[in-house]
Structure 1
């Protein structure tokens, strides 16, 4: 749990900009800075980072600077450590997808990190439609590979701490819809009867299109599109995280239909060697864990988001059995259809 610095003097954008310009001017690779501006408007959350875009003399984006808020002056340093842990978990196969800082420092008493600029996914309606159509299979394959590469059985102690406790917390969380609390009860029952034997994976925790960039250093002629993806914002990542959560977040971001999501969920359940019902169990455990670690994130926002994501997951479970049968590939014998 982070502690808010009390009575801290706020640092203005101009103070921060001036201090960063002085820092960067001492580095030969940043001697030709034309402009430093806000990358995006600040959010009304105490632990929101200041995100700055640095342009070179030609007016082209060069780097992005993340700076800690005054309430949490070492927050960026902490986040960069989590980024390195995520990269280590994916090493060597997928370590290249994790965007790590060029360098880090401290300015105005606040930790900061400088990261290379890479191309965001398209935001215009037509461009995003075409990009999603062409690249979504590679994005889902990437989540599949992360699950496959980092999947490890949870020890008895980890089951109690990382699954039982979060599920019990979610069950007792009265602001959550009864459907979610009921699903958490079902998951806890499957866990205690031994029907569900949970595993951990590296969880990004905010895996959506806004955190997927295209690597500017990889030629556009690169045929393997997974080599062109760069994933940013590993601030909430967990090397002992929960399967399925990132998949649902990505599917929501991509506007994935229930039939396509069913195929993806089944593939993940094959890796996890679990019953299809436990895709829901994993997601409930993840929600329980996150609800216990919201920190500055408003609970009402989280409840609203959780309901949206669960609704999309439940749409998969409501698919007709005949439809599931037509979609289901050959998998492990214990893979069965979910109960209606």
Structure 2
């Protein structure tokens, strides 16, 4: 699930966990038993034989270190159940709605990376949802390196498909970009170079030298949110911060940073995305900065220092790629 307050945050979970450790209240055996009973009407959806009287639950994570982190349960060895914390009781319900909206907005092909929710409900005012169990990236360095190499072309093809959904330039898009860029431009914690680039981007949009357009955006597209299953080489989770009227380029750069994508590969992808957006390679920075501005205005409880770190990494990677293409910011 996502980390933060009212919005999903585009940052490595490890940073958030280290800077804002919180725990869910301990669960009693009685509570867990009640949860199992709550799931009993869903036995057929869980693929349980009729003779089973109670759903088998295994606690995977009772306490979370993130502010809105869910408790996790393994259900019947086949599903992962997310239970919202008492302080953020609607987290799981919000995730269900976001997944459904993204699946509808992306269409059957691109939306196939989103899991179908097996079941959802509420217990003591806390929403929950269950998803099919999938495989995360391995903790073994060698295996993880192989998994990352395998998922890279799949993810890059998917990102190309998403940017092809770019809407025509519009006044609402320009207004949204300008508002986001303005917030970033006046954020004292952000380095002057990034703030100056945001102001230049605003001037280009105002002078109609750049044409903002909406593109679907996951908002946290990094290796930690990519799983796999027997039927799909790539499953993408954590959609609560997604936007169907979002900002291009950010997901590409977020993915590139998390996989330390080779510069030559990033330059190739950047050229494709720029062409799909009807923009120059250097003007792709406008889209990235607008995304950063959007997140800067929706930090919730996320530490500003961590946002600053992420913004610098993303800006630096794109700036280097643009410079290698012969562009200038």
TM-score band w.r.t. shorter chain: 0.7 to 0.9
What pairs with 1:38-117 in structure 2 (closer than 5 Å)?
A: 38-39=60-61, 42-45=64-67, 48-56=68-76, 61-117=77-133
Q: CA deviation at 1:130?
A: 2.0
Query: Taking structure 1 as reference, are residues 40 and 117 closer, same or farther at Cα in structure 2, changes over 3 Å only?
Result: farther
The 1-side partners of 2:274 and 2:6 are apart by: 35
1:51 touches 1:64 (CA, 8 Å); kept in 2?
no
Equivalent position SS for 1:121: coil
The 1-side partners of 2:255 and 2:62 are apart by: 22
1:209 maps to 2:223: yes
2:61 touches 2:73 (CA, 8 Å); kept in 1?
yes
Q: CA deviation at 1:102?
A: 0.7
Q: CA deviation at 1:16?
A: 4.7
Q: CA deviation at 1:19?
A: 2.8
Aligned to 2:268: 263
> What is the CA deviation profile of residues 81-112 of structure 1, one whole-angstrom value per residue up to 9, with x for unaligned ones?
11111000111222221123111100121111
Range moving further from structure 2, 132-141 or 189-198: 132-141
Range moving further from structure 2, 35-44 or 242-251: 35-44
The 2-side partners of 1:234 and 1:111 are apart by: 16
Equivalent position SS for 2:214: strand
TM-score normalised to structure 1 length: 0.82
What pairs with 1:156-305 in structure 2 (closer than 5 Å)?
A: 156-160=171-175, 162-216=176-230, 218=231, 227-305=232-310
The 1-side partners of 2:119 and 2:169 are apart by: 35
Q: CA deviation at 1:79?
A: 2.0
Aligned to 1:317: 322
Show structure 1 runs of 4+ deviating over 6 A: none
Q: CA deviation at 1:133?
A: 2.5
The 2-side partners of 1:39 and 1:265 are apart by: 39
1:125 maps to 2:141: yes
Query: Taking structure 1 as reference, are residues 16 and 272 closer, same or farther at Cα in structure 2, changes over 3 Å only?
Result: farther
Q: CA deviation at 1:138?
A: 1.6
Q: CA deviation at 1:65?
A: 1.2
Range moving further from structure 2, 255-264 or 109-118: 255-264
Query: Taking structure 1 as reference, are residues 40 and 228 closer, same or farther at Cα in structure 2, changes over 3 Å only?
Result: farther
Aligned to 1:23: 38
1:37 maps to 2:37: no
Q: CA deviation at 1:259?
A: 2.1
Q: CA deviation at 1:187?
A: 1.1
Query: Taking structure 1 as reference, are residues 241 and 269 closer, same or farther at Cα in structure 2, changes over 3 Å only?
Result: same
Q: CA deviation at 1:74?
A: 1.9
Q: How many residues align?
A: 301
Equivalent position SS for 1:113: strand
Range moving further from structure 2, 241-250 or 185-194: 185-194
The 1-side partners of 2:261 and 2:305 are apart by: 25
1:11 touches 1:108 (CA, 8 Å); kept in 2?
no
Query: Taking structure 1 as reference, are residues 262 and 41 closer, same or farther at Cα in structure 2, changes over 3 Å only?
Result: farther
1:339 maps to 2:297: no
Answer 1 or 2: higher relative contact order, Cα 8 Å, separation at least 6: 2
RMSD: 2.2
Query: Taking structure 1 as reference, are residues 55 and 27 closer, same or farther at Cα in structure 2, changes over 3 Å only?
Result: closer
Structure 2 unaligned residues grouped into runs of 5+: 8-23
